[in-house]
Structure 1
Amino acid sequence: MSLPTPPDTTRRPDRAFSTPAVVASCAGFVLIGALQSLYGPALPALRSAYGLSPSGAGLALSAHFIGGVLGVLGFDRAFGRIGNRALLGVSYALMALGSVAFAFSPYWPLALLGALVTGFGFGGIDYGLNQLFATGFGRRSPAMLNILNAHFGIGAIAGPALIGLLGADRYPSVFTASAVLAALLLLPLGGVRDRTPEPADELPEDAAGGPTSLRTRRTATLLTVFVVLYVLHVGVEAGVGGWEPTHLEAVGHSTTLAASATSVYWLMLTLGRFLVAPLTLRWSEPAVIAVSCAGMALCLLAAVLPGPAPYAYAGVGLFIAPIFPTGLPWLRRAVPAARRAGALVIAASMVGGAAAGPALGKTIELFDVRAVPAVLFVLAAACLAATCRLTRATRSPLEPARDPGTPLT
């Protein structure tokens, strides 16, 4: 009589990742968070090394973001056609090659090309891991996505701190270390399931009820509102991160306090994703995002007042934290017919982050820097309106309104 085969405790059938692969994925998000944050602290050394103007040196981050958008859209085209391990492996390899090229290029155009290639790999990891985590853990996917994206914040905090510790002129060493880590992250990819089945609750478009034209219009409307939500909330996130120090100094706070408060904002954004992870096991995604948008708006309203402004901005970081990762599983269920919906909103969020700085700068030229929290409040209120619209549109007619505190089964 043969003994029964023990269950595979390393990778359960409903999971796309083994435990080591989950750890490696979190390390991958620390890496992309650090890479994105390294360009700013390295600007003085870049200007000195290549004889650049401030705007010329700033092209490095622009090239990284352009590469990121291209990476998201490009790897989305390949998603499902090649295996998950190949998609992630190529992304890590591109980050490694691009980081080395950026660190050691003798000419600035070649360094920009390195930043572009790094960004392309960055986009592939950002898209690929978010896409796989959104479906690879069943009901725990929202929680796991929040934990994954919290590690991005850890990297974004650690990257500038490392440059500050070593000195801006040592940026080639930091980018080289990033390349080595990207190469090492190729090793645990064997724990990633190469093909992931579609969730059972995502039916193909021809299996859904109703006329095709109505389904198409509904899909387009929902996807448009999701894109609006992502563009606006990432615009608020980048807007606070970019303009909080200027606003705080303008209303009478010291330069030191303004800089410290901005660091606290990013720390709270990271902490918020860890804190909300267990809540997503009991609260639905629409409920989590609605509370987040409402809290974000109220904190921005409080930031109009000079006294509580530093604390209010910390609150914005805490409330805005869950929106990006928690919205992705909701998007996949709400718009199952649009296979590229995830790529579209991730790319749109990058565009929103890139556009926030110039848009707020133009607003400040027209009004005053003191208007920053009021303008961002309007965007946060629009996020709340979009969330309410999506909640009504995605609730089944036969589904009763659920108490948000009721556990998901």
Structure 2
Amino acid sequence: MHTLSARSAKAGSADRWFSTPAIVASCVGFILIGALQSLYGPALPALREEFGLSPSGAGLALSAHFIGGVTGVLAFDRAYGRIGNRALLGVSYALMAVGGIAFALAPNWPLALLGALVTGLGFGGIDYGLNQLFATGFGRRSPAMLNILNAHFGIGAIIGPALIGALGADRYPAVFVVFAVLAALLLIPLGGVRDRTPDGGPQPASATAPAAGVSARTASLLGVFVLLYVLHVGVEAGVGGWEPTHLEAVGYGTALAASATSVYWLMLTLGRFLVAPLTLRWSEPAIIAVSCAGMSVCLLAAVLPGAAPYAYAGVGLFIAPIFPTGLPWLKRAVPAAQRAGALVIAASMVGGVAAGPVLGRAIELFEVRMVPAVLFVLAAVCLAATWWLTRATRAVPGAPRG
């Protein structure tokens, strides 16, 4: 009875953070950031033709998006608590809208990259901002709620490539404009988001600087969490950005390759919905270990042309829980570094920044068939990092069970 009362109290506290329309709008916001990120990969053939780009040059669009994302995360974290949540989220949505339209209508490649950068700024603000608000607003249910929130990212990532596949890569500007307009419309329900913490005290950004005496153990834990996030986001973005190119190179048609990318994002979405109830029974380390092992096996299988579309779908299923499930684990395992969440989310985007040009360079040096092999190496390192973190956090007070 006491447990049920405590959970009810926490749920009541969570309700004060968002009105019901604002919760729905937050999920729609994640649909939009998923859609905008996923559009770059299927649009690469048209971008290369329109602007005369090499594979690595075209990959810079995704890199610019993630560079903006890193900046957006750090800026939101710095302003969090000093400026109201509504204003921060509103600026982020406005940047997504302006950047998306600029990318779609840019007359040359430098301006297109600038548009992708501005879109990324808004992306980073929404990604970090809503993750932060959901993580602090739902108590023990945070892992489940974060998986549900991030599952909507996958819904958007399904819709984006599907639209490009249906309309044709040359119609990418129209798709970007539509999603930019939708981002602007999300300014309307922001009145249902609470501007300050329930207790009225300072938000984490004003008091989250790590103490000067952070131990070597804490620094090591944080460093390995950063590595895990950098590499697994690199795999996620690498598959989303280069799966169509790889599948076309091994004999699949353009429409099928774009549709297969949508299936990848579909499996990522289903994985997050499916794992939400499991987070109430399984420890975060166990879930992430299974995820890393599964995505490693699937990427190895993707080297085989006949298995590649199905293997990429498996990657989406297994990689799904890592990002949202790792955040509560990080919060408990590294309590001395209270800005750790912002750091790993920002650092994880480095994987997205690097994925485009690194894989593009691998294609230029070897061939497109090397894409799944390169990503397999990254996934294997993620598995090793998870194994190390599981052993290291067993001795941390309050660390996850298991």
**Above 0.5 in TM-score?**
yes
Matching residue of 1:14 = 14
Task: Give, as a single letter, the amino acid of the residue that structure 2 aligns with 1:275.
Answer: L
Matching residue of 1:241 = 240
Q: Deviations over 1:188-224 (max 9, x none)?
A: 22222222369xxx9x999x9xx984x4322211110
Task: Give, as a single letter, the amino acid of the residue that structure 1 aligns with 2:232.
Answer: H
Matching residue of 2:147 = 146
Distance in 1, matches of 2:192 and 2:248, equals: 49
Structure 1 pair 240–169 and aligned structure 2 pair: CA distance change class (3 A): closer
Distance in 2, matches of 1:309 and 1:102, equals: 31
Gaps of 5+ in 1: 1-7, 405-409
Whether 1:90 and 2:91 are equivalent positions in the alignment is yes
Structure 1 pair 361–67 and aligned structure 2 pair: CA distance change class (3 A): closer
| Structure 2 counterparts to residues 76-225 of structure 1, below 5 A | 76-104=77-105, 109-166=110-167, 171-196=172-197, 213=213, 215-225=214-224
Q: Deviations over 1:240-278 (max 9, x none)?
A: 33444555566x654466555443222211211111111
CA-CA distance at 1:112 after TM superposition: 4.1
Deviates more, 1:369-378 or 1:72-81: 369-378
CA-CA distance at 1:104 after TM superposition: 4.6
Give yes or no for contact 1:31–1:152 (8 Å, CA) kept in 2. yes
Distance in 1, matches of 2:389 and 2:129, equals: 25
Pairwise CA RMSD of aligned residues? 3.6
Q: Deviations over 1:350-408 (max 9, x none)?
A: 21123124334445566665554444333222212211221222234677994x5xxxx
Specify the SS of the correspondent of 2:337: coil
Distance in 2, matches of 1:59 and 1:205, equals: 36
CA-CA distance at 1:137 after TM superposition: 1.0
Matching residue of 1:65 = 66
Q: Deviations over 1:293-326 (max 9, x none)?
A: 1222232344445554443332221111110111
Structure 1 pair 108–388 and aligned structure 2 pair: CA distance change class (3 A): closer
Deviates more, 1:81-90 or 1:94-103: 94-103
Distance in 1, matches of 2:39 and 2:207, equals: 43
Distance in 2, matches of 1:355 and 1:311, equals: 25
- Aligned-pair identity (%): 81
Specify the SS of the correspondent of 2:227: helix
Gaps of 5+ in 2: 1-7
For these two proteins, the number of residue pairs brought into alignment is 385
Give yes or no for contact 2:13–2:198 (8 Å, CA) kept in 1. no
Give yes or no for contact 2:158–2:263 (8 Å, CA) kept in 1. no
CA-CA distance at 1:109 after TM superposition: 4.9
Distance in 2, matches of 1:100 and 1:205, equals: 37
Specify the SS of the correspondent of 1:332: helix
The structure whose RCO (Cα within 8 Å, separation 6+) is larger is 2
Matching residue of 1:349 = 348
Matching residue of 2:311 = 312
Give yes or no for contact 2:237–2:352 (8 Å, CA) kept in 1. yes
Structure 1 pair 13–166 and aligned structure 2 pair: CA distance change class (3 A): same
Specify the SS of the correspondent of 1:236: helix
Structure 1 pair 36–248 and aligned structure 2 pair: CA distance change class (3 A): closer
Q: TM-score, normalised by structure 2?
A: 0.82
Specify the SS of the correspondent of 1:14: helix
Distance in 2, matches of 1:109 and 1:358, equals: 16
Task: Give, as a single letter, the amino acid of the residue that structure 2 aligns with 1:133.
Answer: F
CA-CA distance at 1:139 after TM superposition: 1.4
Distance in 1, matches of 2:342 and 2:399, equals: 31
Give yes or no for contact 1:135–1:329 (8 Å, CA) kept in 2. no
Deviates more, 1:17-26 or 1:252-261: 252-261
Give yes or no for contact 2:92–2:122 (8 Å, CA) kept in 1. yes
Deviates more, 1:280-289 or 1:301-310: 301-310
Matching residue of 2:287 = 288
Distance in 1, matches of 2:166 and 2:143, equals: 35
Structure 1 pair 299–101 and aligned structure 2 pair: CA distance change class (3 A): closer
Give yes or no for contact 1:97–1:179 (8 Å, CA) kept in 2. yes
Deviates more, 1:122-131 or 1:368-377: 368-377
Structure 1 pair 315–64 and aligned structure 2 pair: CA distance change class (3 A): closer
Specify the SS of the correspondent of 2:12: coil
CA-CA distance at 1:129 after TM superposition: 0.8
Distance in 2, matches of 1:176 and 1:288, equals: 38
Deviates more, 1:147-156 or 1:98-107: 98-107
Bigger Rg over Cα: 1
Give yes or no for contact 1:42–1:171 (8 Å, CA) kept in 2. yes
Distance in 2, matches of 1:172 and 1:253, equals: 27
Q: Deviations over 1:126-148 (max 9, x none)?
A: 11111222222111111111111
Matching residue of 1:53 = 52
Structure 1 pair 375–180 and aligned structure 2 pair: CA distance change class (3 A): closer
CA-CA distance at 1:327 after TM superposition: 0.8
Distance in 1, matches of 2:362 and 2:107, equals: 39
Structure 1 pair 139–397 and aligned structure 2 pair: CA distance change class (3 A): closer
